[in-house]
Amino acid sequence: MRKHLTVGIVLASLATAPLAFAQQQEPASPQSPMTQTPQVTPVSEAEIDQFVASAQDVRRINVEVQPKLKAAGDAQAQTEIKQDAAEDMKAAIEDNGLTVSRYQEIYLAMQTNPEVAQKVQSQLKTQ
């Protein structure tokens, strides 16, 4: 039961993980109205492992930063805390062997490809 709860929490936190990076990246160039969902390079088993480890680290950082954000006195302090957290998340992802862009691609693949989602869920259950 506890393992299923942990898997659910990690999967739920994956939904917010890419948002932290969206604030830090350059704005994307405008897309044409005909643009479809981008094609994602196939995801290897090793990348699934790296993604799961990265997602767990990102979740841990997110949990750690929440009390700091609540205690921050003003918007400037909150912005600095968020920037530090985003840098920590980026470092955690890179330490696990992925680039931030590849992490986001795998996240997108998990949302759009049931096979990738199942592999991520299976990997989370084994940890």
Mean residue pLDDT of the chain comes to 80
The share of the chain scoring above pLDDT 70, in percent, equals: 69
Residue at 117 is within a domain: yes
* Number of domains making up the chain: 1
Residue at 88 is within a domain: yes
- pLDDT of the residue at 47: 96
Direct distance between the N- and C-terminal alpha carbons of the chain, in angstroms, rounded to an integer = 14
Per-residue model confidence as pLDDT tens digits over 96-116: 999 999 999 999 999 999 999
Q: Is the pTM of this model over 0.85?
A: no
3-state secondary structure of 116: helix
**35, two tokens:** 């643009």
Per-residue model confidence as pLDDT tens digits over 52-62: 999 999 999 99
How far is Cα 9 from Cα 59, in angstroms, rounded to an integer? 9
- pLDDT of the residue at 39: 62
**56, two tokens:** 């767990």
| Chain centre to alpha carbon of residue 5 | 19
Q: Which residue segment(s) compose the domain that 98 sits in?
A: 2-22+43-126
Q: Give 94's contacts (C-beta < 8 A, 6+ positions apart).
A: 100
**30, two tokens:** 């405008």
Residue at 29 is within a domain: no
